Amino acid sequence: MILAIVGMAGAGKTEAAQFIESKGFMRIRFGQITIDELKARGLEINEENERMIREKLRAEHGMHAFAKLNASKIDKALESGDVVIDGLYSWEEYIFLRERYPKNLFVMAIYAPPKLRYARLISRSGSASDKGKNMRPLSEADVIKRDIAEIENLHKAGPIAMADMTIINDASIEGLKNKIARGLHRLLKTASR
Is residue 68, in this structure, part of any structural domain at all? Answer: yes
| Bridge partners of residue 92, in order along the sequence | none
177-190 pLDDT tens trace:
999 999 999 998 88
CATH number at residue 38: 3.40.50.300
Domain hosting 39: range is: 2-112+156-191
Which amino acid is residue 173, in one-letter code? I
Is residue 125, in this structure, part of any structural domain at all? Answer: no
Residue-level pLDDT at 128: 41
Is residue 121, in this structure, part of any structural domain at all? Answer: no
Is the four-CA dihedral 147, 150, 155, 161 of positive or negative sign? negative
Counting the structural domains of the chain, the total is 1
E strands in the chain? 2-6, 26-29, 83-86, 105-111, 165-168
138-176 pLDDT tens trace:
788 888 988 998 999 889 999 999 999 999 999 899 999
β-bridge pairing 165-168 and 105-111: parallel
Is residue 149, in this structure, part of any structural domain at all? Answer: no
User: For the whole model, what pTM was predicted?
Assistant: 0.89
d(CA 4, CA 94): 9
Is residue 143, in this structure, part of any structural domain at all? Answer: no
